Amino acid sequence: MAIRPEPLKTLNQYQILNTIRIAGSISRIEIAQIVGHSRATVTNITAKMIASGLIYEKEVEGTAARGRNRILLAINPDAAYVVGVKVSAFRIGCVVTDILANVKSSVVMPVRTSERPAEFVADLIEEAIRHCVLEAGLSLKQVSGIGIGVPGLVDSREGVSYWSPLYRRGDITLRDLIQDRFGISTYVDNDSNTVALSQLWRGQGMGINNFAVVTVEDGLGMGVVIDGELYRGSNGFAGELGHFVAVPGGEPCRCGKKGCYEAYVSNFGILNAAKRLCREGTWQCADMEALAYEEVLEAARAGNQDLVEVFNRAGSYLGHALAGLIQIFNPSRIIVTGNGIRAGELMFGPMRAMLEESVWPEMHSKTEVVVHEWQDMDWSLGAACLVLQELYKSPLDRCVAAEKMQEAIKSD
Ligand SMILES: [Zn+2]
């Protein structure tokens, strides 16, 4: 069972909570000005939040008129705890955070999930969660929700992963497998969406209403935030930049189609192009089967022109993809991240050149393209933010009472 929101009441609550979160601490009058409600409404809603222990009053010395102390409102960080999990081909990352997305504990398990059955992956996730919750000094009863980020095509509303380069698809969804084990509300989303959420909550997207996060890793992913909310589209499939066919009939992609951006820009695409050079005898690599991305990058850095050309092509296609994004969404920022940014200028030089060539300068100048240093924890932190996003919208009694929510799931 998902946390059931009560539309209007909880929308007001969400706006107010989010305003307090972004500000850190803020007066009732300022909240009313920002969210556009009357002071009476804000006072009424915040009184309930104080009574439930979700927020608290904080007295700040002599800053109000005539030197009187001001009363500000702040979120009680320990009002709730959530878990975020990121599943990738060769590791599972897990974090436990408080209600402000402060990390209480984290763990990375180096395990292969690729090509394993969903039940097996669920066993590993269960282990990671139990370990991480214990590390945080908490019990499972204190956990209000679990978020999971996985690569591939995910219907976040139904919790169904239609296509993933990782686990084999079974009859049971990964979300249900985890939810049934713990009796805790569980959410699954595409991992690039969860990274966009981590940037919205704690990173380069904080306070920015329109931005996109493009992740370059084994795959090429994207999460889009429009008007301060993650944009998922009608079924949660939005943001599939990586599998946009840029070259009809082009390079084969892992998803089964041909000519997707991912087939050129991702680490996987680069590795494939390098392997072809090996096969053709253009480049002498030591062991083609065991060829790693790092080896390709090193050889390109050492000046192998054929490999430089592979990165050049990847960067050009990335620039081409970003040009499309700028023209369709007019975002104020595009954050490029993921372990593929190690390619540096080999990739970002051609990316910038293509952007300049493909977008009118007036439009291009309105979007800042930043390359953001990759942090492993961003992924699992984002999955935790997926839960927090829902929690902030859920009725107050559920928001601060993990146990109550777990009982409701059991009786469902
Ligand atoms: Zn594809």
Domain locations along the chain: 7-75, 79-196+377-410, 206-371
CA of 90 to the centre of ligand 1 (A): 20
- Give me ligand 1 centre to Cα 146, in Å: 29
- Distance from the Cα of residue 97 to its chain's centroid: 15
- CB contact at 8 A, 263 and 248: no
Q: How far is the CA of 263 from the centre of ligand 1 (A)?
A: 7
> In this model, does residue 2 exceed pLDDT 50?
no
User: Is pLDDT of 389 > 60?
Assistant: yes
| 343 CA → ligand 1 middle, Å | 21
The alpha carbon of 105 and the centre of ligand 1 are apart by a number of angstroms equal to 35
pLDDT tens, residue by residue, 44-73: 999 999 998 999 999 887 665 667 788 999
Cβ–Cβ under 8 Å, residues 215 and 192: yes
Render pLDDT for 254-310 as a digit per residue (tens, 0 to 9).
889 999 999 999 999 999 999 999 998 888 887 888 899 999 999 999 999 999 999
Residue 205, pLDDT score: 87
Torsion angles phi and psi, residue 25, rounded to 5: -145, 145
The helix/strand count (H/E) of the chain reads as: 15, 15
Domains 79-196+377-410 and 206-371 share a fold: yes
Question: What residues are paired with 145 via a beta bridge?
Answer: 82
Residue 279 class from Cβ within 10 Å (0-12 exposed, 13-18 middle, 19+ buried)? Answer: exposed
pLDDT at 408 over 70: no
Residue 296 CA to ligand 1 centre (angstroms) = 22
pLDDT digits (tens, 9 = 90+) for 61-112: 766 566 778 899 999 999 999 999 998 878 899 999 999 999 999 999 988 8
Is residue 323 a contact partner of residue 315, using CB atoms and an 8 Å limit?
no
**What fold, for 7-75?**
Arc Repressor Mutant, subunit A (1.10.10)
Helical pair 28-35 and 39-51, crossing angle rounded to 10 deg: 120
Whether residue 28 has pLDDT greater than 90: yes
Predicted local confidence at residue 120, as pLDDT: 87
CA of 256 to the centre of ligand 1 (A): 6
- Tell me the CA–centroid distance for residue 250 and ligand 1, in Å: 11
Q: What is the pLDDT at residue 118?
A: 80
Task: Compute the distance from residue 251 Cα to the ligand 1 centre, in Å.
Answer: 9
pLDDT band with cut points at 50, 70 and 90 for residue 207: confident
Using the mean position of ligand 1's atoms as its centre, give its distance from the Cα of residue 275 in Å.
19
pLDDT tens digit string along 162-196?
556 565 555 567 888 899 999 999 999 888 899 89
Q: Which of 1-10, 124-133, 246-255, 273-282 has the lowest mean pLDDT?
A: 1-10
With contact defined as beta carbons under 8 Å apart, do 164 and 112 qualify?
no
Give the SS3 label for residue 65. helix
Give CATH for domain 206-371. 3.30.420.40
Q: Find tokens 């920022």 and name the residue.
A: 333
CA 122, 123, 128: angle at the middle one, nearest 5? Answer: 95
Cβ burial of 373 (10 Å; 0-12, 13-18, 19+) is exposed
Could you give the C-alpha distances from 191 to 28, 208, 222, in angstroms and in order?
A: 36, 20, 9
pLDDT of residue 75: 95
Q: Is the dihedral of CA 192, 197, 203, 208 positive or negative?
A: positive
Ligand 1 midpoint to CA 220 (Å): 9
Q: Residues 384, 206, 195, CA angle at the centre, nearest 5°?
A: 40
**Structure confidence at residue 398 as a pLDDT band (50, 70, 90):** low
- CA–centroid distance, residue 189 to ligand 1 (Å): 18
DSSP assignment string, 297-346: HHHHHTT-HHHHHHHHHHHHHHHHHHHHHHHHH--SEEEEESGGGGGTHH
Beta-sheet pairing, 143-150 with 153-155: unpaired
CA of 27 to the centre of ligand 1 (A): 49
Cα 140 to ligand 1 centroid, rounded to whole Å:
38
- Measured between alpha carbons, how far is 400 from 56 in angstroms, rounded to an integer? 13
Q: Report the separation in Å between the CA atom of 321 and the middle of ligand 1, taken as the mean of its atom positions.
A: 14
Written as six digits, the tokens of 150 are 């996985």
Q: Report the pLDDT averaged over residues 188-215.
A: 89
Reported confidence tier of residue 147, pLDDT bands at 50, 70, 90: very high
Taking the centre of ligand 1 as the mean of its atom positions, its distance from the CA of residue 261, in whole angstroms, is 7
Å from CA of 152 to ligand 1 middle: 10
The kind and range of the H/E element at 199 are helix 191-202
CA of 271 to the centre of ligand 1 (A): 15
274 backbone dihedrals φ, ψ, rounded to 5°:
-65, -40
What digits encode the pLDDT tens for the residues 319-362? Answer: 999 999 999 999 999 999 988 999 999 999 999 999 999 999 99
Q: Look up the pTM and report it.
A: 0.82
**How many angstroms does the Cα of residue 21 sit away from the middle of ligand 1?**
38
How far apart are the CA of 318 and the centre of ligand 1, in A?
A: 14
User: Contact 176/160 with Cβ under 8 angstroms?
Assistant: no
* Closest-CA residue to 239 (of 224, 217, 219): 224
Predicted confidence at residue 5, as pLDDT, reads 46
- CATH number of this structure's domain 79-196+377-410, picked from the four choices 1.20.1630.10, 3.40.50.300, 3.40.50.11810, 3.30.420.40: 3.30.420.40
pLDDT in tens, 365-381: 999 999 988 777 888 99
